[in-house]
Amino acid sequence: MSEVAHPRADALDGFSTSELLELMHGEDRSAIESVHTALEQIANAVDQVALRLRSGGHLHYFGAGTSGRLAVLDAAECPATFGVAEDLVQAHAAGDGEAEDDHGRGVRDAKHAGLTPHDAVIGVSASGLTAYVLAALGEARQAGALVVGLSCAAGSPLGKAADIAIEVDVGPEVIAGSTRLKAGTAQKVALNMISTGVFMRLGHTYRGRMVGIVTTNEKQRRRAERMVRELTGCSAETLDTALRDAGGSPKVAILMLRFGIDAGEARHRLSSASGDLAVALGERDPQ
């Protein structure tokens, strides 16, 4: 639908700036609402991707143009948000123009990624027609990886090539063909849900908190202190000592304070729980 002119397209040049922004804001709200129709498929993707990562696999995004840039952004946010390894979520983006049609590059990038049956691959394309993405997904399927297609076009080749098709019909864009608008909004929301859902299922959060955070700046150190204090009720002096001995890791500090153990034993307990704090605390059975 992105190439179809908006119902009010012929009148847009006469809109005031406020009227134009009001229209765009309303259309963005409708794009976010449209994601609701795909929640079942998104949930399935979260569960299946989490299974692959739990077995030692990686999550790979393939996209081009705006879709590729959104994938790059989502992948880049995962280590900082969840404290996961830098290479656990990888984005492969072809860029704009002719690169979007480069079938060979899609094949090469997918082969270079070294995909295995333990991996999950998400192809992101607003139209569901991008040759680069389709080629990459073809290689992913041959490698035995889980294949998820995220598009804004029902019944597209991308959806047909995927094990799980997430198709969010956002309707005509305010500027026909500009998928950085509503389609981009919907894709960003869906990618947020997938990566956040996956890492919550894998125990990289605890009680709605970013306990996997890597404390590399003052803001993050203050956040870690607040989380540990809220979750243990410890004194300021005890908090400082625990976080210092834990190397700034909220998970390790929480285990130290909850069980009265040293940092080494806390790290061992956390490792045995595959990094899942709730499991390490005995609040949830291993999955």
Q: In DSSP terms, which residues pair with 150 in a beta bridge?
A: 124, 166
Signed CA dihedral, 264, 266, 267, 269: sign only: positive
Catalytic residue among 3, 40, 77, 173: 77
The reply to whether 77 belongs to the active site is: yes
C-alpha radius of gyration, the chain, whole number = 22
Cβ neighbors of 125 (< 8 A, separation 6 or more) are 63, 64, 67, 133, 134, 149, 150, 151, 156, 158
The reply to whether 33 belongs to the active site is: no
Which of 231, 233, 232, 277 has the alpha carbon at shortest distance from 252?
A: 277
CA angle 129, 134, 138 (to 5 degrees): 155
Contact 121, 109 (CB under 8 A): no
**Phi-psi group of 244: left, alpha or beta (phi > 0 → left; psi -120 to 50 → alpha; rest → beta):** alpha
What crossing angle do the helices spanning 39-54 and 182-201 adopt, rounded to 10°? 40
Q: In DSSP terms, which residues pair with 206 in a beta bridge?
A: 209
Cβ neighbors of 57 (< 8 A, separation 6 or more) are 116, 118, 119, 120, 145
Catalytic residue among 27, 100, 167, 173: 100
Contact 263, 277 (CB under 8 A): no
d(CA 129, CA 125): 7
Active site residues: 77, 100
